[in-house]
Chain A
Amino acid sequence: KQEVTQIPAALSVPEGENLVLNCSFTDSAIYNLQWFRQDPGKGLTSLLLIQSSQREQTSGRLNASLDKSSGRSTLYIAASQPGDSATYLCAVRANSNSGYALNFGKGTSLLVTP
Protein backbone atom coordinates (compact mmCIF):
# COMPACT_ATOMS: atom_id res chain seq x y z
CA LYS A 1 0.00 0.00 0.00
CA GLN A 2 1.30 3.44 -0.91
CA GLU A 3 2.33 5.46 2.14
CA VAL A 4 2.77 9.22 1.83
CA THR A 5 4.64 11.17 4.49
CA GLN A 6 4.96 14.91 4.84
CA ILE A 7 7.64 16.63 6.89
CA PRO A 8 7.43 18.83 8.85
CA ALA A 9 3.93 18.47 10.26
CA ALA A 10 3.92 22.16 11.18
CA LEU A 11 6.08 25.12 10.28
CA SER A 12 6.15 28.76 11.39
CA VAL A 13 8.24 31.31 9.49
CA PRO A 14 8.49 35.10 9.32
CA GLU A 15 7.17 36.83 6.25
CA GLY A 16 9.61 36.99 3.34
CA GLU A 17 11.38 33.71 3.97
CA ASN A 18 11.80 31.06 1.29
CA LEU A 19 10.68 27.64 2.50
CA VAL A 20 10.57 24.00 1.47
CA LEU A 21 7.89 21.46 2.27
CA ASN A 22 8.77 17.80 1.89
CA CYS A 23 6.76 14.82 0.72
CA SER A 24 7.92 11.22 0.44
CA PHE A 25 6.14 8.14 -0.89
CA THR A 26 6.97 4.46 -0.64
CA ASP A 27 5.97 3.15 -4.09
CA SER A 28 7.71 4.88 -6.99
CA ALA A 29 5.24 3.49 -9.55
CA ILE A 30 3.12 6.63 -9.58
CA TYR A 31 1.07 8.23 -12.34
CA ASN A 32 1.32 11.77 -10.99
CA LEU A 33 1.74 13.83 -7.85
CA GLN A 34 -0.42 16.77 -6.86
CA TRP A 35 0.07 19.50 -4.27
CA PHE A 36 -2.99 21.05 -2.65
CA ARG A 37 -3.66 23.93 -0.33
CA GLN A 38 -6.40 23.70 2.32
CA ASP A 39 -7.59 26.69 4.32
CA PRO A 40 -9.40 26.04 7.65
CA GLY A 41 -12.93 24.79 7.05
CA LYS A 42 -12.50 24.86 3.29
CA GLY A 43 -11.98 22.42 0.47
CA LEU A 44 -8.75 21.50 -1.30
CA THR A 45 -7.34 23.83 -3.93
CA SER A 46 -5.01 22.31 -6.50
CA LEU A 47 -1.67 24.11 -6.62
CA LEU A 48 0.56 22.04 -8.87
CA LEU A 49 0.34 18.77 -10.75
CA ILE A 50 3.48 16.88 -11.75
CA GLN A 51 3.23 13.95 -14.14
CA SER A 52 5.51 10.97 -13.50
CA SER A 53 7.63 11.90 -16.52
CA GLN A 54 8.24 15.45 -15.31
CA ARG A 55 10.85 16.77 -12.92
CA GLU A 56 9.21 20.01 -11.82
CA GLN A 57 6.34 22.42 -12.24
CA THR A 58 6.15 26.13 -11.45
CA SER A 59 3.30 28.50 -10.75
CA GLY A 60 4.13 32.01 -9.60
CA ARG A 61 6.08 31.79 -6.33
CA LEU A 62 5.55 28.03 -6.11
CA ASN A 63 7.84 25.38 -7.50
CA ALA A 64 7.31 21.65 -7.07
CA SER A 65 9.92 19.05 -7.90
CA LEU A 66 9.61 15.30 -8.28
CA ASP A 67 12.26 12.62 -7.90
CA LYS A 68 10.31 9.47 -8.61
CA SER A 69 13.22 7.08 -8.16
CA SER A 70 13.86 8.24 -4.61
CA GLY A 71 10.17 8.69 -3.83
CA ARG A 72 10.37 12.38 -3.01
CA SER A 73 8.76 15.67 -3.90
CA THR A 74 9.36 19.14 -2.56
CA LEU A 75 7.21 22.25 -2.67
CA TYR A 76 9.26 25.44 -2.66
CA ILE A 77 7.53 28.69 -1.70
CA ALA A 78 9.48 31.84 -2.46
CA ALA A 79 9.14 35.07 -0.50
CA SER A 80 6.43 33.77 1.80
CA GLN A 81 3.46 35.98 2.73
CA PRO A 82 0.91 35.80 5.57
CA GLY A 83 -1.68 34.83 2.95
CA ASP A 84 0.29 31.62 2.35
CA SER A 85 -0.74 30.39 5.81
CA ALA A 86 -2.67 27.15 5.26
CA THR A 87 -2.24 23.40 5.30
CA TYR A 88 -0.40 21.97 2.31
CA LEU A 89 -1.23 18.45 1.22
CA CYS A 90 0.75 16.15 -1.04
CA ALA A 91 -1.09 13.38 -2.88
CA VAL A 92 0.08 10.68 -5.27
CA ARG A 93 -1.95 8.79 -7.82
CA ALA A 94 -0.91 5.24 -8.56
CA ASN A 95 -0.64 3.78 -12.01
CA SER A 96 -3.99 3.09 -13.61
CA ASN A 97 -4.17 -0.59 -12.67
CA SER A 98 -4.45 0.49 -9.03
CA GLY A 99 -7.18 2.96 -9.69
CA TYR A 100 -7.20 6.70 -10.16
CA ALA A 101 -7.70 7.65 -6.52
CA LEU A 102 -5.20 9.70 -4.57
CA ASN A 103 -3.14 8.67 -1.56
CA PHE A 104 -2.64 11.65 0.73
CA GLY A 105 -0.05 12.69 3.24
CA LYS A 106 -1.30 14.20 6.49
CA GLY A 107 -0.18 17.67 5.50
CA THR A 108 2.12 20.44 6.63
CA SER A 109 0.45 23.26 8.54
CA LEU A 110 2.19 26.51 7.59
CA LEU A 111 1.99 29.77 9.51
CA VAL A 112 3.63 32.86 8.03
CA THR A 113 3.89 35.67 10.55
CA PRO A 114 3.99 39.37 9.59
Chain B
Amino acid sequence: DAEITQSPRHKITETGRQVTLACHQTWNHNNMFWYRQDLGHGLRLIHYSYGVQDTNKGEVSDGYSVSRSNTEDLPLTLESAASSQTSVYFCASSEGTTGESFFGQGTRLTVV
Protein backbone atom coordinates (compact mmCIF):
# COMPACT_ATOMS: atom_id res chain seq x y z
CA ASP B 1 0.00 0.00 0.00
CA ALA B 2 1.08 3.54 -0.68
CA GLU B 3 2.06 5.49 2.38
CA ILE B 4 3.79 8.55 3.76
CA THR B 5 6.55 8.09 6.32
CA GLN B 6 8.39 10.54 8.53
CA SER B 7 11.70 10.15 10.29
CA PRO B 8 12.78 10.37 12.97
CA ARG B 9 9.63 9.92 15.07
CA HIS B 10 11.23 11.65 18.04
CA LYS B 11 14.22 13.98 18.25
CA ILE B 12 15.85 16.10 20.91
CA THR B 13 18.26 18.78 19.76
CA GLU B 14 20.05 21.77 21.19
CA THR B 15 19.34 25.42 20.48
CA GLY B 16 21.25 26.67 17.47
CA ARG B 17 21.75 23.31 15.78
CA GLN B 18 20.56 22.58 12.25
CA VAL B 19 17.96 19.84 12.11
CA THR B 20 16.41 18.06 9.13
CA LEU B 21 13.17 16.11 9.30
CA ALA B 22 12.53 13.61 6.53
CA CYS B 23 9.28 12.94 4.70
CA HIS B 24 8.85 10.25 2.05
CA GLN B 25 5.64 9.36 0.21
CA THR B 26 4.93 6.54 -2.19
CA TRP B 27 1.60 7.94 -3.43
CA ASN B 28 3.34 9.70 -6.32
CA HIS B 29 1.53 12.90 -5.29
CA ASN B 30 2.79 16.20 -6.65
CA ASN B 31 1.51 18.20 -3.66
CA MET B 32 3.36 17.92 -0.35
CA PHE B 33 3.06 19.95 2.85
CA TRP B 34 4.62 20.46 6.24
CA TYR B 35 2.49 21.45 9.25
CA ARG B 36 3.26 21.93 12.91
CA GLN B 37 0.80 21.14 15.68
CA ASP B 38 0.83 23.02 18.96
CA LEU B 39 -1.62 23.15 21.84
CA GLY B 40 -3.93 26.10 21.44
CA HIS B 41 -3.00 26.66 17.80
CA GLY B 42 -4.01 23.50 16.02
CA LEU B 43 -2.18 22.62 12.81
CA ARG B 44 -0.46 25.41 10.94
CA LEU B 45 1.15 25.34 7.51
CA ILE B 46 4.94 25.77 7.36
CA HIS B 47 5.90 25.12 3.72
CA TYR B 48 4.42 23.42 0.71
CA SER B 49 5.42 22.16 -2.71
CA TYR B 50 3.42 21.48 -5.86
CA GLY B 51 6.13 19.57 -7.65
CA VAL B 52 9.84 19.05 -8.17
CA GLN B 53 11.83 22.27 -7.72
CA ASP B 54 8.72 24.09 -6.46
CA THR B 55 8.57 25.34 -2.86
CA ASN B 56 6.35 27.93 -1.16
CA LYS B 57 6.12 29.55 2.25
CA GLY B 58 3.19 28.94 4.51
CA GLU B 59 1.78 30.74 7.52
CA VAL B 60 4.68 30.02 9.91
CA SER B 61 7.72 29.62 7.65
CA ASP B 62 10.30 31.74 9.51
CA GLY B 63 13.28 29.63 10.53
CA TYR B 64 12.36 26.72 8.25
CA SER B 65 13.27 25.72 4.71
CA VAL B 66 12.39 22.90 2.32
CA SER B 67 13.72 21.54 -0.94
CA ARG B 68 12.09 19.28 -3.50
CA SER B 69 14.51 17.36 -5.71
CA ASN B 70 12.17 14.46 -6.52
CA THR B 71 8.47 13.63 -6.26
CA GLU B 72 8.77 11.35 -3.24
CA ASP B 73 10.65 13.50 -0.70
CA LEU B 74 10.20 16.86 1.00
CA PRO B 75 12.75 17.31 3.82
CA LEU B 76 12.15 20.12 6.31
CA THR B 77 15.20 21.91 7.67
CA LEU B 78 15.40 24.05 10.77
CA GLU B 79 18.35 26.29 10.05
CA SER B 80 19.12 27.16 13.69
CA ALA B 81 16.77 25.42 16.09
CA ALA B 82 15.00 27.56 18.69
CA SER B 83 12.93 26.55 21.72
CA SER B 84 9.87 28.04 20.02
CA GLN B 85 10.22 25.30 17.40
CA THR B 86 9.53 22.57 19.92
CA SER B 87 6.43 21.00 18.39
CA VAL B 88 4.97 18.01 16.60
CA TYR B 89 5.61 18.16 12.86
CA PHE B 90 3.39 16.51 10.28
CA CYS B 91 4.10 15.90 6.63
CA ALA B 92 1.21 15.46 4.21
CA SER B 93 0.59 14.87 0.54
CA SER B 94 -2.53 15.35 -1.49
CA GLU B 95 -4.05 13.68 -4.50
CA GLY B 96 -4.37 15.90 -7.54
CA THR B 97 -7.89 15.11 -8.69
CA THR B 98 -9.92 14.82 -5.49
CA GLY B 99 -7.60 16.88 -3.31
CA GLU B 100 -7.74 14.31 -0.51
CA SER B 101 -4.84 14.74 1.92
CA PHE B 102 -2.89 11.98 3.65
CA PHE B 103 -0.67 12.48 6.68
CA GLY B 104 2.44 10.91 8.13
CA GLN B 105 2.68 9.76 11.75
CA GLY B 106 4.45 12.89 12.88
CA THR B 107 7.83 13.84 14.35
CA ARG B 108 8.00 15.11 17.91
CA LEU B 109 10.86 17.62 18.10
CA THR B 110 12.16 19.01 21.36
CA VAL B 111 14.65 21.88 21.31
CA VAL B 112 16.54 22.29 24.59
- Docked-complex contact A49 and B104, CB < 8 angstroms: no
Q: With both chains docked as a complex, state the minimum distance between the C-beta of B58 and any C-beta of chain A, in angstroms.
A: 7
Q: State how many residues of chain A have any CB contact under 8 Å with chain B.
A: 22
Q: With both chains docked as a complex, state the minimum distance between the C-beta of A110 and any C-beta of chain B, in angstroms.
A: 16
Q: Given the complex, which residues of B lie within 8 Å of A111, measured CB to CB?
A: none
Contact of A43 among B50, B94, B103 (CB under 8 A): B103
B27 within 8 A of A: no
Q: Given the complex, which residues of B lie within 8 Å of A107, measured CB to CB?
A: 42
Q: Given the known A-B contacts A100-B50, A104-B43, A107-B42, are A44 and B90 also in contact in the complex, defined by CB atoms under 8 Å?
A: yes
Q: Given the known A-B contacts A100-B94, A101-B33, A101-B58, are A46 and B45 also in contact in the complex, defined by CB atoms under 8 Å?
A: no
Give the contacts of A23-66 with B (CB-CB under 8 A). Answer: 31-32, 34, 36, 42-46, 49, 51
- Docked-complex contact A101 and B99, CB < 8 angstroms: no
| Count class of interface residues, chain B | 20 to 34
Q: Given the complex, which residues of B lie within 8 Å of A51, measured CB to CB?
A: 98-99
Instruction: Please report whether the interface of chain A is mostly helix, strand, loop or mixed according to DSSP.
Output: strand
A72 within 8 A of B: no
- Docked-complex contact B101 and A102, CB < 8 angstroms: yes
A21 within 8 A of B: no
Q: Given the complex, which residues of A lie within 8 Å of B99, measured CB to CB?
A: 31-32, 49, 51, 93, 100
Contact of A49 among B31, B56, B100, B106 (CB under 8 A): B100
Q: Given the complex, which residues of B lie within 8 Å of A46, measured CB to CB?
A: 100-103
Q: Which 10 A-B pairs have the closest CB atoms?
A: A44-B103, A43-B105, A106-B42, A104-B43, A101-B45, A43-B103, A49-B100, A104-B42, A100-B31, A32-B99
| Apart from A42-B106, A46-B102, A51-B98: 12 A-B pairs, beta carbons within 8 A | A42-B105, A43-B103, A45-B103, A49-B100, A89-B42, A100-B94, A100-B99, A101-B48, A102-B43, A104-B42, A106-B40, A106-B41
B-side residues, CB < 8 A to A, are 31, 33, 35, 40-45, 48, 50, 56, 58, 90, 92, 94, 98-106
Can you report 24 residue pairs joining A to B where beta carbons are below 8 Å apart? A31-B99, A32-B99, A42-B105, A42-B106, A43-B103, A43-B104, A43-B106, A44-B92, A46-B100, A46-B103, A49-B98, A49-B100, A89-B42, A89-B43, A91-B43, A99-B48, A100-B33, A100-B50, A101-B45, A102-B43, A102-B45, A102-B101, A104-B42, A105-B42
